[in-house]
Structures are given as structure tokens and as C-alpha cells.
Amino acid sequence: MKRFWILLLAVLCTTSCNWFGPGEKDRQVLLVYFAGNNSLSSEGEGDYEDLCGAWLPEGKDKHRIVLIYRHFIDRTPVLSRIYRDRKGVLVEETIQEYPFDTNSATPQTLSNVLADAEEAWPAEHHGLILWSHASGFLPQGYYAYPDEHASGGASLMSFAEDHGTEMDLKDLRKALSRFHYDFIVFDCCLMANVEVAYEMRNCADYLLFSPTEILSDGFPYEQMIQPIFEQKPEMAMTTICQRYMEHYRAQSGVYRSATISLVNTAALGQLAAACKTIFNNHQDQIMTVNRGDIQAYFRFNKHWFYDIDDFVRRVATDAEYQAFSSALSRSVIYKDATENFLSIHITHYSGLSSYIPRPEYTVLNNYYKTLQWNQATGLVP
């Protein structure tokens, strides 16, 4: 009798304990999250149109699914599937409409959209593109209105912006922890910080982003969808990096401005270990290093984004730097940049930026201590 119940339990687990139904285990779902109910609304609508003009799977293809959440000014936010019919005509299939007053810059909205997408199209393999304003690791509102100093210049956000609301990096990470993504692409400014990468390391295998701002033209969406579904994730992300740089190198004047980085998150633990040794041994040098000599990735005197390699090599010993450099090369597996990004001249490019602390940044330093990167490395003691 005992043997019978053991066998019955095994059968039940085989049939009902499986997370995925027939065909769902091999399904790939790409979700593009347009949080565009802000000053970038018209650019977001343009990128959405580019997406609709791109190569797309056919409707009968249940293994390759493209989902779009779009929220633009004066538009009702909607989650839809886009595909082509047998004649190649675009079809937009609404999955869920949301209240007109939905705020797309909250972790709750993002979580709801992710849940609705998974309910409609369960899958084991997920890819995500996040589109909006952003300002890297900074706390909500700090880029535009830093507590310690008066500020001018353009306003950018932690991630997303909707009626003054922004999504904190830690809240973004918690919202995305529902799944583990094959990749996350950040089509938003200043996100290729080591702080962002480390905070998001358990959310995805690969992170694709920029340490500088991104011009409002954004990514070349008409060239992105096919490689995502036809190549393995690392190769697909590399292809997108290359096409991104080709797109901007074909421009002229200030529009010939782009930086891009691809990070393998599995290697970030080694990078943190190398940095912990350096930061613990050289606190005095870190606090007094001449930031004016270090490659910067910011404009408008928003001096919180410096090249991590250019920073570390100025405070580490030769042996420490060698260990760090090796770990960095395993983490950043693709990087490229134009000679200039708008007014920023790029002479040293590692692909990741880092905060360089100063004692006078009391508010920012206290916030920084809550980030996983600082907890792992002790940059701000």
C-alpha cells in the first residue's frame, strides 16, 4: 500500500506540479514596457511605431510572443500582443486595458503588468525592455533636486516618471524579482552603473544599458526583434549593441553620440570581491582622488557618474588593479562608445560608471549604504 501511494504521488507531481503546460517551457516572451506618460511621450510613440514596422512573429507562432505595455500622454494604458497575420499585416491584440489615471512609474503597476503578461502567455524564457526616463542608482528626485546642492539643467529620473512619481532602484528590483529574465534592456539614460548592475544581478543573465544619457531617438527597434528570437541571448544582445552603435555612428554632429555596455551578471560577484579589497584598503585615497582627472559620463554638473576603471586604477595597487581588471573584463562582455557624447569627450571607456563618494554628500551617502553594491564592497563606510 505504501508503494502504491508513493507511485501515485510521483504521477501527480509529474502532471500537476509542472509550472508549464505543453509548449510553454520552450516559449519566449518579450515584454516592452513603455512608461511614456511624460515629456518623452512623442518619442515613445515613435519607437512603438518602429516596433510595429519591425520583423514580428506570426500569430500562429505560439512559441515567440511580443507583448507591449504602452502608456503615453492622453492615452489609456494598454497591454497588447503584436504579431503579423499570414499576409504580413500587423495585428494588435489587446490583453488588458488599465484605468486612465494609472501611474506607470510605480512598482505596483509594473508588477501588475508583469502578472497580466504571464497569465496571458506563461513562459519559462522572458526578455524585458524598459523604456522611460532614468538616472541610474540615484534616489527618487535626487538628479533634479539634490538635497546638498542647488541644481540646474535637465531633469532625469531614477527609473520612469509619471506625474512626479519615480521608481526607486530597489523597488524596481523587487518588482522584477517575480521572474528571472534572459536579458533586460534599459532604453533609458545613465543606467550602466555598477550599482544598478549589481542590484539587478539576480534579475537577469544579461543587462544591456548605457553609462551616459541616451538620445531621444532611442534604440533602433526595427532591427532588434528578429535577433532576440533567432539568436541565443548573449549573441542577440551583442547584435543589438552593434546595431545600436552603427545607427548612431551613421549620424552627424551631436547626434553621433552613443555609449553601450553588455554585462554578464554571473561575473559581478567576482567584481564586487575585487572592489571590496580595494575600497577597504584605500578609503583615504578614495575620498581625496581628483575627480576632475577621471572620465565622467554626466552633464550639467551632475557629478555622480565616473568610469569605474579610470577611478579604481588611480587608487589601487598594481596587484589589486590586475585582479579588478580581470573581474571587470568578465563582467562587461561588450562595450563601445563614440568619441564624444554630446559635450562629453570619451577617452577612457570601461562600460560601467561608479559613484565616487565625498563626505559632504550626507543624504546621498546614507542612501548609497542601502544599495547592495555598497553592502558588498564598502565603498561608503
Listed by start position, the domains of the chain span 21-376
pTM of the complete model: 0.91
DSSP string, 180-197: -EEEEEEESTT--BHHHH
Secondary structure class of 301 (helix, strand, coil)? coil
Residue bearing cell 552633464? 299
Q: Is the separation of the CB atoms in 131 and 36 below 8 Å? A: yes
Query: Of 237, 225, 240, nearest to 264 (Cα)?
Result: 237
- Which pLDDT score, from 0 to 100, does residue 17 have? 39
Q: Is the separation of the CB atoms in 261 and 192 below 8 Å? A: yes
Tell me the Cα Rg of the chain.
22
How many angstroms separate the CA atoms of 364 and 125, rounded?
36
Q: What kind and span of H or E run contains 3?
A: helix 2-16
Q: What is the mean pLDDT of the chain?
A: 91
Which one-letter amino acid corresponds to residue 371? L
- Strand 90-97 to strand 353-354: parallel, antiparallel, or no bridges (unpaired)? unpaired
Measure CA 331 to chain center.
15
- Which pLDDT score, from 0 to 100, does residue 21 have? 62
Q: For residue range 320-340, what is the model confidence (pLDDT) as tens digits? A: 999 999 999 999 999 999 999
Q: Which three cell numbers stand for residue 108?
A: 505596483
Q: For residue range 46-86, what is the model confidence (pLDDT) as tens digits? A: 999 999 999 999 999 999 999 999 999 999 999 999 999 99
Q: Which three cell numbers stand for residue 113?
A: 503588468
The packing angle between helices 169-176 and 107-120, to 10°, is: 20
Q: For residue range 257-266, what is the model confidence (pLDDT) as tens digits? A: 999 999 999 9
Which of 21-35, 180-194, 284-298, 345-359 shows the lowest per-residue confidence on average (mean pLDDT)?
21-35
In which band, very low, low, confident or very high, does the pLDDT at 8 lie, cut at 50, 70 and 90?
very low
Query: Of 224, 220, 193, nearest to 307 (Cα)?
Result: 193
How many angstroms separate the CA atoms of 334 and 330, rounded?
10
CB-side exposure of 272: number of CA atoms within 13 Å? 20
Q: Residue range 209-225: average pLDDT?
A: 95
Residue bearing cell 573584463? 329
Q: Residue range 172-181: average pLDDT?
A: 94
- Residues with Cβ within 8 Å of 328's Cβ and at least 6 positions away in sequence, in order, are 271, 274, 308, 309, 350, 352
- Strand 259-264 to strand 332-337: parallel, antiparallel, or no bridges (unpaired)? antiparallel
Secondary structure class of 166 (helix, strand, coil)? coil
Q: Is the separation of the CB atoms in 138 and 127 below 8 Å? A: no
Q: Taking 70 as the threshold, does the pLDDT of residue 379 lie above it? A: yes
Q: For residue range 270-322, what is the model confidence (pLDDT) as tens digits? A: 999 999 999 999 999 999 999 999 999 999 888 899 999 999 999 999 999 99
Length of the chain: 381
Secondary structure class of 282 (helix, strand, coil)? coil
